[in-house]
Structure 1
Amino acid sequence: MTNVTHVLKDKHSQEIYTVSPEATVLEAISIMADKGIGALVVTHEGQVVGILSERDYTRKIALMERSSYDTTVNEIMTAKVLTVTQSTSVEDCLSLMTDRHLRHLPVVENDKLVGLVSIGDLVKAVMDDQRKLIDQLQQYIAS
């Protein structure tokens, strides 16, 4: 069974984008727009303290008519962050994401952020596993 380690190795970009809780929301969404990503891990002194997603922005800034210029990330981030480790299975990640309606999971080892997986990363991993299994079964049947 594939785990998060394999998913992180297969990702095109290994870069993890983070933002400080004191940054403005405008700074954070500018990073997301520039990098083409949907979430940023919020870190303070190397520790994960939250996550900021496009969903947080739309629900807590746009819909509440707040200003991105003077609202800090700390004010709208999701502070109760669910994390996984590199040994967590893709299946467990997908279950967690489905049950909690999440799109991103920070990967933490020894209290250090080592990656971020998205639902798309995990679905791709499942599809790759299924392709490999189909190929193996076809070779078995053909032999």
Structure 2
Amino acid sequence: MKTVAQLLKLKDQKNQEVHQILPHQSVFEALTKMAEKNVGALLVVKDGKVEGIISERDYARKLILKGRSSVGTPVSDIMVSDVITVDTHQTVDACLGIMSDKRLRHLPVVEDGKLIGLLSIGDLVKEAIAEQAELIKQLEQYIRGE
């Protein structure tokens, strides 16, 4: 089972970039950045520390449904501030368990208090499927006596 560190190394350079926004920036700026980067969430980071995460879901539920303006509302007003993070030693299975239990789609990777990466549910599912396929291949070879 791969660790988070191994998985982060496997991600291509384009997908290793962690898209961020500052807590004082407007929700409109966050939405604009999400659209530009084609992502569904941004980490809210201040001085290198993860302060929260803002997603399209937060926008819909905490702003639109309450009739608030995205231009005049700071990200800090609607972000999720109790962000669950993992370190590089966690396994893919452990991360999938956390995301499933907590109903998360994004999991920041923090080492020594510093943000070093972000894993999506897609990253983890893709890796879990690849590992299962490899195990099946090995078992088939064992059964055939290869």
Length-normalised TM-score, structure 2: 0.94
Aligned to 1:114, the other structure's residue is in SS state strand
- What is the CA distance between 1:141 and its match in structure 2? 2.2
Separation of aligned partners in 2, 1:71 and 1:91:
37
Which residue identity does 1:131 align to in structure 2?
A: A
Report matched runs for 1:1-143 at 5 Å. Answer: 1-12=1-12, 13-142=15-144, 143=146
Tell me whether 103-112 or 53-62 shows the greater mean CA deviation. Answer: 53-62
CA deviation after TM superposition for structure 1 residue 135, in Å: 1.6
Q: Separation in 2 of the partners of 1:103 and 1:53?
A: 10
- Deviations 1:93-119, CA, capped at 9 Å, x for gaps: 111111111110100000100000011
Q: CA deviation at 1:5?
A: 1.4
Task: Output the CA distance in 1 between the equivalents of 2:17 and 2:83.
Answer: 20
| TM-score scaled by length of structure 1 | 0.96
Aligned length: 143
Measured in 1, the distance between the counterparts of 2:4 and 2:39 equals 19
Alpha-carbon shift at residue 63 of structure 1 (Å): 1.0
Q: Percent identity?
A: 50
In structure 1, C-alpha distance between the alignment counterparts of 2:65 and 2:8, rounded to whole Å: 34
Task: Flag as ranges the 4+ runs of structure 1 deviating above 4 A.
Answer: none
RMSD: 1.0
Structure 2 gap ranges (5+): none
How far apart, in 2, do the equivalents of 1:128 and 1:6 lie? Answer: 14
Take 2:110 and 2:54, find their aligned partners in 1: how far apart are those partners? 17
What are structure 1's unaligned runs of at least 5 residues? none
